[in-house]
Structure formats: C-alpha cells, structure tokens
Amino acid sequence: MNLLPDKLPAETRQWLEGLRQDLLIEESLRGQPLRFHTTWGLFSPKAIDEGSRLLLDYIEIDPSHNSADLGCGYGPLGLTLARLAPQGRHTLLDKDFVAVEYSRRNARLNGLGNVEVILSNGFDQLDDRRFHRIVSNLPAKTGKEQYYLYFYEALARLEPGGRFYVVTINGLRDFIKRSFKEVFGNYAKLKQGRSYTVALGCKQEA
C-alpha cells in the first residue's frame, strides 16, 4: 500500500499520484515497432537512451541466434533482439526486481514469446545456456572488479565465434579496450559518438 501524508495540498497529491502511473514509450528500433511501459526509478524512463540506440545500430544478429541482455532495464535491447531473431531464444538479466517485472510485462505487451527474463546479479542465477550474442549498456559507475566479472562470465557464456557488444560512456573507452584485449584477446571499436562508444569482443573459434 502506498501512503501519502494526510495534509498534502490537493495539487501535490494529484501530482504524486500521477508519478505512480506507468510511462509509455512507443518507438521503432532497428525498424521494429515496439512499446515499453516504464516507471520512475528505472534507467531512462521517458525515452530510449542515446547509448542503447547507438548500440542497436551496430549489432549483427541472425534470425536463429540466441542472445542475452545483461542489465536489461525495461528491455529495449533484449526485446529488440528478440524481434530481430524470432527463431532464437533471448534471455534478459537484471539485478533490479522492478526492471525484471517491467521487462516481463513489455515482452508480453509486444507479443514476444521467445524471451525469458531472470532476476540475476550478472549471470549468477542462470543455468548453463550459451549465446551467440551478449549485449550490455554498461553502467558508468560500476567498479572495475564488477566489469571484469561481467567480461569473463560473458566469455564463458558465448558460443565459439560469439560476440559481446557493449556501449559505454566515452570516458570508459580506454579501459574497455585494455580489458577486452586481456579477456577476449581482441577488441574492436565500432563507433565513437559524441558521448558513447560501442565496442566488441569476440570469442575465438575453437
């Protein structure tokens, strides 16, 4: 139950009640019309953020590929990939239970039955499934230790020849370059925009 103070002015009470209502984003991402319910407290609740848009432009995915979206939020990356790869299986992961609930709702809203959304810190609640593509809009304020956990776990989860696509703020691009070369043995900068950089690490073929 959500309670508000009894003596709030009517205008303030009405404004606060309005803030509890879902926000709705209707977008075309990679040519796919999609709808997203969001709420205050989730990342970029009013619009698809610039970093996610940039990342989606550079992901190569086949119709049968399986994908994982690490830190999915309300689902713009993972659900777009699920639409682009209808024969694949798509796993969305987030450690925020509100994000997980909204991603599940948005999968249903968009009629995507090839999606599973899991409450997980990184990959720690996942079974042994493997992916052709792993994507992440990496948070800017995570410690390097956490990044390395994500990167090594992503490497272990990729199929041979699989790709790990990330977008970060430009201030992290040198760290991403160094760490990807260390973890994956390779690095490619796909795009550096005004504020964000899209990078790629590939799991070598066996």
**CATH code of the domain covering residue 163:** 3.40.50.150
What are the respective helix, strand and coil percentages of the chain, to the nearest 5? 35, 30, 35
Q: For residue 158, tell me if it sits in a domain.
A: yes
Tokens for 41, please give them: 């407290």
**115-128 pLDDT per residue, tens:** 999 999 999 999 99
Q: For residue 178, tell me if it sits in a domain.
A: yes
8 Å CB contact between 188 and 162? no
By three-state DSSP, how is residue 22 classified? coil
Identify which has the larger pLDDT, 107 or 22. Answer: 107
Identify which has the larger pLDDT, 1 or 55. Answer: 55
Q: For residue 79, tell me if it sits in a domain.
A: yes
How confident is the model over 136-149, as a mean pLDDT? 92
By three-state DSSP, how is residue 183 classified? helix
* Domain count across the chain: 1
Confidence grade of residue 22 (pLDDT, cut at 50, 70, 90): confident
**178-188 pLDDT per residue, tens:** 999 999 999 99
Give the global pTM: 0.91
Q: How many whole angstroms from its chain centre is CA 64?
A: 20
Q: For residue 90, tell me if it sits in a domain.
A: yes
Q: For residue 26, tell me if it sits in a domain.
A: no
According to the model, what pLDDT value does residue 15 have? 56
**38-69 pLDDT per residue, tens:** 999 999 999 999 999 999 999 999 999 999 99
Mean pLDDT across the chain: 93
According to the model, what pLDDT value does residue 4 have? 65
8 Å CB contact between 130 and 158? yes
Element (H, E) at 36: strand 32-38
Residue 172 lies in domain? 49-202
Q: For residue 125, tell me if it sits in a domain.
A: yes
Distance CA 187, CA 179 (A): 9
Q: For residue 30, tell me if it sits in a domain.
A: no
Q: For residue 68, tell me if it sits in a domain.
A: yes
Of 200, 204, 180, the residue nearest 191 (C-alpha): 200
Q: Looking at the chain, list the stretches that DSSP marks H as alpha helix, in order from N- to C-terminal side.
A: 10-19, 50-58, 76-84, 97-109, 144-157, 173-183
According to the model, what pLDDT value does residue 186 have? 98
Distances from the Cα of 92 to the Cα of 9, 99, 103, angstroms: 41, 10, 8
Q: Is the pLDDT of residue 205 over 70?
A: yes
